[in-house]
Amino acid sequence: MREITIPIGDDVIRSLKVGDPVALSGVMVTGRDTVHKWLIETFIKQTRPAQGDDLQVYEALKPLLKGGVIYHCGPVVSGLDTKQYKFVAAGPTTSIREEPYQSDVMKHFDIKGVIGKGGMGAKTLKGCQEVPGVYFHAIGGAATFIAQSVTKVLGVYKLDFGVPESLWVIEVKDFPAVVTMDAHGQSLHEVVEEQSGKVLAELLAK
Amino acid sequence: MRDLTNEILELIRLTSSHLPADVEKRLRAAVEKEAAGSAAQGALETILKNVELSRQNSTPICQDTGTPIFYVKYPLGWSTIQLRQMIRTALAEATKRSYMRPNAVDAIYDRNSGNNLGGDDFPYIHFEEVEGDELTIELMLKGGGCENVGAQYSLPDNRLGAGRDLAGVRKAVLDAVHKAQGQGCAPSILGVAIGGDRGSGYLKSKEILYQKIGEPNADPKLAALETQLTEEANSMGIGPMGFGGQTTVIDTKITGLSRLPASYFVSVSYMCWAYRRRKMTVRGDEVMYE
């Protein structure tokens, strides 16, 4: 088990290999479908004008994401009425939906780690080589267990996206994950898909 | 008519936080099959720890508390209007208590309602009048990750070489499992409906997921295909979470529907390992949960 502290330096990122179990500690930000689309359209491709508190949120995110980690997660949060937020259940969501956006978002903010489940595709893998960055796979559905590693909710942005889609800034201690895509172009998901594809071809030929 | 709001709230709490015993048993058996120290075994161990913790703390097994799918079977004398209202009230309360995540998003205006109540379709409620004097409410919570990897095939399918027969069904289901990889949170349970139209096929493929794991199909032809599909799907080696490993599919359930001469649909519902389903039965003053 490698203990990793966020923000993560390039040397640490390059030392991580597919299959390495890690325990992450530090501050990370949740962001999934709505967030990625919003980041791309508003700040990266700039196809829609910034509105409301967009620019303030953008400025607040920049230092959090530089060398940081984005977590594909739509948590169950208690304390919404009192703003004494607590993560009750917080496993990863399926990452492949962010495939069109992820690599550009990583490069724009210098994000070193993406946490999710199910893995991502060729575009993100290339992004991981360029940034450099890695993909950390958390255990899908292990929501109560993972929520225990969230020690504090530091704040939330864009709550109007809905609780699951907001940007939650959280402090974590020993967040468990496995590296499944590294900065050297290796992807466990690519390997499993190819190997299982060969078996499928044999089964279909029967 | 009796107010069941609190009892339905308890049904929701149990469903979200207590994984059914038949599922947990299969997950425990799966741990032994994976190589010691492998990522697949580690994933299953984490899953089981999470199952225990969620039960102890009454917190959601998975943060995606899914689409709430209710099947209500009621004897004469109950009002479906009132039952619907009880279910909706209980669901909003369950959301307030963090048993459920607010999951109803208006697809046109992108607004989360915040309380799990959307239009008439969310939560999904199926009503059916039955003989006798027992009211039963079954609830299934199906998360979005596994819902997204569900698939529907219209046979024949040239690419797969799948014709309009059970051999063709086999090929379609295996293709769906391969396409899903780890994205639907394997190990999974497959619900397969053959026939129907595009709507009824998908609905039926979910409905059969209310059945217990390991209950053999009454039709020996389908029972054999179920076993074969589970084994062959596992031979692809996708494994828990798609990490590579022995157990990708825990069980397969197949059923048939009448079809049009022109149509031959194979609808596959992929259920993640967090296979949350519970039933409550109301008989006189008694309310039982299983």
How long, in residues, is chain A? 206
Q: Does A58 touch chain B (CB under 8 A)?
A: no
Q: Does any domain span residue B21? A: no
- Candidate from B54, B101, B242 with C-beta closest to A144: B54
Let me know whether B154 and B235 are in one domain. yes
Bridge partners, A25 (sequence order): A5
In this predicted model, what pLDDT tens digit does every residue of A33-43 receive, in sequence order? 999 999 999 99
Minimal-distance CA residue of chain B relative to A196: B236
- Candidate from B50, B60, B183 with C-beta closest to A94: B183
Q: How far is B148 from chain A (nearest CA, A)?
A: 9
Q: Does B103 touch chain A (CB under 8 A)?
A: yes
User: What's the pLDDT score for residue B217?
Assistant: 96
Q: How far is B219 from chain A (nearest CA, A)?
A: 24
Mean pLDDT of A116-140: 98
Structure tokens given for B52? 């225990």
CA-based Rg of chain B, rounded to a whole angstrom?
Answer: 19
Q: Residue B39, by phi and psi: left (phi above 0), alpha (psi -120 to 50) or beta? A: alpha
CATH topology of domain A2-205: fumarase (3.20.130)
Let me know whether B107 and B225 are in one domain. no
CB contact under 8 A, A144 and B60: yes
Let me know whether B260 and B175 are in one domain. yes
In this predicted model, what pLDDT tens digit does every residue of A150-188 receive, in sequence order? 999 999 999 999 999 999 999 999 999 999 999 999 999
pLDDT at A64 over 90: yes
| Strand B286-289, strand B276-283: pairing | antiparallel
Let me know whether B163 and B114 are in one domain. no
Percent of chain A surpassing pLDDT 90: 99
Structure tokens given for B154? 């219209």
Let me know whether B129 and B222 are in one domain. no
CB contact under 8 A, A161 and B235: no
Let me know whether B180 and B132 are in one domain. no
Let me know whether B113 and B239 are in one domain. no
Let me know whether B154 and B227 are in one domain. yes
CA–CA distance, B182 with B249 (Å, rounded to integer): 11
Q: How far is B39 from chain A (nearest CA, A)?
A: 7
Bridge partners, A29 (sequence order): A70, A169
CB contact under 8 A, A196 and B42: no
Domains in chain A: boundaries: 2-205
**CB–CB contacts below 8 A, A to B:** 169
- Candidate from B98, B105, B237 with C-beta closest to A196: B237
User: What's the pLDDT score for residue B228?
Assistant: 98
One-letter amino acid at B131 equals E
Q: Give the single-character DSSP code of A44.
A: I
Closest-CA residue to B166 (of B228, B236, B122, B243): B228
Q: How far is B277 from chain A (nearest CA, A)?
A: 15
Task: Give, in order, the Cα–Cα distances in Å from A185 to each of A24, A177, A190, B173.
Answer: 22, 19, 10, 31
User: What's the pLDDT score for residue B107?
Assistant: 96
- Candidate from A117, A146, A162 with C-beta closest to B105: A162
Q: Does A177 touch chain B (CB under 8 A)?
A: no
User: What's the pLDDT score for residue B1?
Assistant: 80
- Burial pattern B65-76, b for ≥16 Cβ within 10 A else e, equals bbbbbbbbbbee
Let me know whether B46 and B74 are in one domain. no
Let me know whether B11 and B109 are in one domain. yes
Domain residues for the domain of B151 are: 145-271
The enclosing domain of B98 has a CATH number of 3.30.1330
Q: Does any domain span residue B20? A: no
Residues of chain B with pLDDT under 70: none
User: What's the pLDDT score for residue B3?
Assistant: 96
User: What's the pLDDT score for residue B189?
Assistant: 98
Number of domains chain B is built from: 3
Catalytic residues of A: 36
Chain A CB contacts of B235 below 8 Å: 199, 203
Structure tokens given for A116? 């999710």
Confidence of residue A149 (pLDDT cuts 50, 70, 90): very high
Let me know whether B51 and B112 are in one domain. no
In DSSP notation, B120-154 reads TTSSEEEEEE-SSS-EEEEEEEE-HHHHHT-EEEE
